Amino acid sequence: MSHFAAGILGTGSYVPDKVLTNFDLEKMVETSDEWIRTRTGIEERRIASEDQAASDLAYEAAKRALEAAKITAEDLDLIIVATVTPDMAFPSTACIIQDRLGAKKAAAYDTSAACAGFLYGIVQASQFIQTGVYRHVLIIGVEVLSKIVNWKDRNTCVLFGDGAGAVVMGRVAPGSGVRSFTLGADGSGGSLLCLPGGGSRKPLTEEGIHQGLHYLSMAGNEVFKFAVRVMNTSADEVLRKIGWEKEDVDFLVPHQANIRIIEAARERLNLPLEKVVVNLNRYGNMSSASIPVALDEAVRSGRIYEGARVILVGFGGGLTWGATSMIWDTKEQEE
Ligand code: UT7
């Protein structure tokens, strides 16, 4: 039994200015706007500039989330960054952000769960807040996937985009905030979605670069089937744990990988279109940043309101997956 309720006090997001449309991609690889739109739902994505790294995007999103939560960086106890495209292997991107924000008393670490990373971060942060150990945790999902994508591979390069989303979590009224969660992993599927080179298994060599080991690799079809399955089972599980019926859900904020995967989840939960937050047409798949950017847009546009019952659900490389149910409440509880 937890002592305190943990909720999201404020959200923020940032995407780079440069837009890459499906029509631009038609000039780069053998593809068409029609194929990309009908098979994925994506129309355009954002691309970081050459000198923009993950921490640059994350910093902007973090500042906006702090402002929305009405706290300062000095109030932070912990910073968690979910990313598969950190500035470098170490120091962590969370430490880089800690310094840039001036969050002097905050601990900081990166968490690695690919597209499910933000959900893993939310659940970790909730534990620290629910036990009363920490008051304010900043969780950021950030990716600069354009830097690990093979721009000659039409199977992958049309799918991904760059961006950052952040939330500040803190103590909220008993009964609101995060109400239930599920996290899962199936490491046997690790090779289906991975970055094979650059780690201690295959340090980058000239030969490795020649083989393209520094590029993201994905078995799209296999990941698709897995995604549809775990989106459904995870959403069902968090509903069951909290005792909500499908019609109790006000908003579903799913990972944004493919409109067909989102549609399958929407149908399964029997939700009308307006209850599902979709932005992949404008941003593509931003891995760990997809859910927090979609969440921030839905909050800032007024779609998600105080008291709304929200489900976040996602999946990704690892393989990993997760979901949370929450009652939206941004009012911080002092005691
Ligand atoms: O967030 C991380 C998780 N990632 C995902 O969730 C991705 C999940 N997977 C998917 O979204 C889909 O599997 C893809 C969008 C990646 C692929 O869609 P699909 O309907 O599964 O297509 P497919 O892989 O079965 O390929 C169909 C055809 C192939 O041609 P043949 O072999 O049938 O002649 C591909 O070569 O489409 C071809 N193709 C393309 N054609 C034009 C693949 N990519 C492209 C492209 N443009 N960009």
Residue 1 pLDDT greater than 90, yes or no: no
Tens of pLDDT, residues 191-239: 999 999 999 999 999 999 999 999 999 999 999 999 999 999 999 999 9
The answer to whether the beta carbons of residues 158 and 36 sit under 8 Å apart is yes
Cβ(39) to ligand 1 under 6 A? yes
Provide the pLDDT for residue 2: 58
State pTM to two decimals. 0.97
**Cα of 3 from ligand 1 centre, angstroms:** 47
Nearest to 4 by CA among 181, 176, 120: 176
Nearest to 288, CA basis, from 132, 169, 116? 116
The two tokens of residue 146 are 């354009």
In the residue annotation, 22 being an active-site residue is answered as no
Q: What is the domain extent for residue 243? A: 1-335
User: Which residue has tokens 């490795």?
Assistant: 208
Residues 227 and 238: their CA atoms lie apart, in Å, by: 16
* Residue nearest atom 39 of ligand 1, based on CA coordinates: 155
Catalytic residue selected from 115, 136, 157, 258: 115
Distance CA 46, CA 24 (A): 12
Q: Is the peptide bond before 91 cis (omega within 30 degrees of 0)?
A: yes
User: How many domains are contained in the chain?
Assistant: 1
DSSP three-state, residue 151? coil
Decide whether any atom of ligand 1 lies within 6 Å of the 324 Cβ. Answer: no
For 134, residues 6+ apart whose C-beta sits below 8 A from its C-beta are 77, 78, 125, 128
Single-letter amino acid, residue 98: Q
* pLDDT averaged over every residue in the chain: 97
Q: Tell me, what CATH number does 174's domain have?
A: 3.40.47.10
Kindly state if the Cβ of 260 falls inside 6 Å of ligand 1.
Answer: no
First to last CA, the chain: 17
Does the beta carbon of 153 sit less than 6 angstroms from any atom of ligand 1? no
Tell me if residue 194 is catalytic: no
pLDDT digits (tens, 9 = 90+) for 16-54: 999 999 999 999 999 999 999 999 999 999 999 999 999
Question: Contact, 183 vs 233, CB < 8 A?
Answer: no
> Is 285 marked active-site?
yes
pLDDT of residue 254: 97
- Tell me the two tokens of residue 104: 């002097």
Q: Does residue 3 register a pLDDT over 90?
A: no
Q: Which of 66, 129, 59, 118 is nearest to 94 (CA)?
A: 59
Q: Is 5 exposed, middle or buried (0-12, 13-18, 19+ CB in 10 A)?
A: buried
Q: SS3 for 284?
A: coil
**How does pLDDT run across 133-148, given as a tens digit for each residue?**
999 999 999 999 999 9
Smallest CA-to-CA distance from 133 within 53, 77, 55 is with 77
DSSP calls for 159-201: TB-EEEEEEEEEEE-TT-EEEEEEEEE-GGGGGGEE--SSSSS
Using a 10 angstrom Cβ sphere, with 0-12 exposed, 13-18 middle and 19 or more buried, the burial of residue 102 is exposed
Q: List, in sequence order, every beta strand (DSSP E) within 24-75.
A: 44-47
